[in-house]
Amino acid sequence: MASHYRSNLRDLEFNLFEVNRIQDYLGSEPWPDLDEARARDILAEIDRLAREDFAASYVDQDRIPLELVDGEVHLPESIKAGVRAYKDGGWDRLAVPAEMGGMPVPPSLGWATQEMQLAANTTVSWYSGGALFATVLFEEGNESQKDLARLWLEKQWSGSMILTEPDAGSDVGAATTRAIDMGDGTWHIEGVKRFITGGEHDASENIIHLVLARPEGAVPGTKGLSLFVVPKYLVNEDGSLGPRNGVVATNIEKKMGLKGSTTCEMTFGADQPAIGYLVGDRHDGIRQMFRVIESARMMIGTKSMGTLSTGYLNALEYAKERRQGADLTMATDKTAPRVPIIDHPDVRRMLMNLKTYSEGLRALVMYTAWLQDQARLHPDDDRWERRSDLLLPLVKGYSSEKAYEQLADALQVFGGSGFTQDYPLEQYIRDTKIDTIYEGTTGIQALDFFFRKIARDQGANIAALAAEITEFVKGGGDGDPLASERERLGTMLDDLQGHLGAMVEHLMASLAGRSEEIYKVGLHTNALLASAAELVIAWQLLRHAEIAYPRIDEDPFYRGKVASAGWFIDLAAPEIAARRAAAESEDGSLMDLPVEAF
């Protein structure tokens, strides 16, 4: 069967080398052994791996049921073949510190490769993982744990992050799983965790779990949580596997999508002790785990964006080939030739929306990744990390919401055929819905964006972003072909600032004694997140258009870039204005409605 996956290597390379110009800082620390040619080779090989080895089991991972038998899950051989291809090529070492035996690359290049892997087959990508968890243990652990992290990478073991509990859900601080200090450097973990991705499988010989638990006597809430490393199989001093540890999968979820990815209930210490080790010999669990969570949030945004991109490209291919109906100018002529459906205005409108959002979400992800590059290049300047931190809820929250929404239109292009399993769109939609929920729902991302990323620093971070966008709006000079778009970008910024101003007023009123005013903030945080994401995307797409415009007669790709920028602004500007108006006129009456009225 031909691969379902359609990559957009051209646009990835445009972002990396024409817009963000990562080649300007390759070949020196911290990436002295990497140049542009090698970076392009890496992209090309991951592209091939994604289209061939990862995509090969995309149908199997959806339609071959997984079963938990005596605490074990055996994956289909096709999935494990994709995992082997990735690891045999040494790609599990990509973006891992050299001190661990890895292959360091800029985050932007790493996330570009992740897009292709995740969109081709998220399940295989996740079973191939482990290096992220090992890297966190290496950087946070004591000396023996650093050795374990190196061994983890060498042995190509898998990993999982374990924090959610059945009764706590997103309220991580309500976790009750406890850790008992045995006084010999080990801890016994007792409790039940839920929704654990990759908690049990046989894609590798061992799984190392990073587990949040509350030591006996620790304070309530997130501050009382500590992080423990808990292997599925204990590891002997010589690196060989020891006995089975007391952490066992006791259920796997039956899901709407991503069916080949085991989502487990994990029980600790039921029939035998679950032995764990305190990460770094210090009780700093929530900060340590958030290093994994933040990477996972970036991953989910990248996954959803990549899935939308392949959904668009599948729809585009179909629309060029499928002939149906006459051209609208000849609709009354029954003898008129049938035309490709891309010639029909409504189909073309949907395709342009798909193209624009695919490219816009990629621009948002790759700009955020570029900021992460700058943080590595300039470790003494925290503005890069703070800007990346500001945008992370947008990457995760907006990308996942918009990808799910737009994939419905990608399916619509296929008509009735899209609703069948003859094409991958129906599976894309099922596999993508979870992205709005994973690693904190969109509502949680929006609360984080307003309260932690904006209000906590009195708006300094977002003000710096606004100042940079303002400078861009003023650029261009006389005869600027993008002058109108720049002006509209300035209006979008004004509307976002008006929206934010209204919410700050409600927040200040709540702090001044009118506590119910905080409800007005909560009613509009999701809308603020969407508007902020659309502003940043519009800015980035105009940067793309600025680079592309001189070359529009050279290659249709560049003409498409200019068109995407203008189309996106046409879509987003009225939405941002409407959200501002709604926030400014909010009266909070929804919160006064009796529950019985729902």
Q: Catalytic residue positions?
A: 439
Long-range contacts of 232-240 (CB under 8 A, 24+ apart): 232/200, 232/206, 232/207, 232/208, 233/205, 233/206, 234/275, 235/148, 235/151, 235/206, 239/151, 239/155
Say if CB 289 and CB 328 are below 8 A apart.
no
Whole-number Å distance between alpha carbons of 46 and 48: 5
The whole-angstrom separation of Cα 408 and Cα 312 is 10
Write out the DSSP string of 284-320.
-HHHHHHHHHHHHHHHHHHHHHHHHHHHHHHHHHHHH
Whole-number Å distance between alpha carbons of 425 and 406: 11
Q: Tell me the HSE value of 369 on the side-chain side, using a 13 A CA sphere.
A: 30
Closest CA to 159 of 194, 205, 208, 124: 208
CA angle 39, 43, 47 (to 5 degrees): 170
200 neighbors 74 (Cβ within 8 angstroms): no
Only one residue has tokens 């042995």, namely 155
Map tokens 């470790």 to a residue: 379
Output the CA–CA distances (angstroms, integers) from residue 490 to 48, 462, 538, in the order listed.
Answer: 41, 15, 10
Cα–Cα distance between 364 and 442 in angstroms, integer?
A: 17
> Could you give the CA distance from residue 168 to residue 195 in angstroms, rounded to a whole number?
12
- Spatial distance between the Cα atoms of 184 and 186, rounded to a whole number of angstroms: 6
If you count them, how many residues does the chain have?
Answer: 598
What does the block give as tokens for 336? 């008129």
Determine whether 197 is exposed, middle or buried from the number of CB atoms within 10 Å of its CB (0-12, 13-18, 19+). buried
How far is residue 157's CA from residue 40's CA, in Å, rounded to a whole number? 28
What are the DSSP E strand ranges found in 106-245? 158-162, 178-181, 187-197, 207-215, 226-231, 233-235, 241-244
Alpha helix locations (H) across 378-459?
Answer: 383-393, 399-413, 425-433, 442-447
Amino acid at 316: L
Ranges of beta strands (E only) in 172-294 are 178-181, 187-197, 207-215, 226-231, 233-235, 241-244, 247-252, 263-268, 274-278
Rounded Cα distance between 164 and 196, Å, is: 7
Q: Residue 58: which of 73, 76, 44 has the closest Cα? A: 76
The 3-class SS string of 249-262 reads EEEECCCCCCCCCC
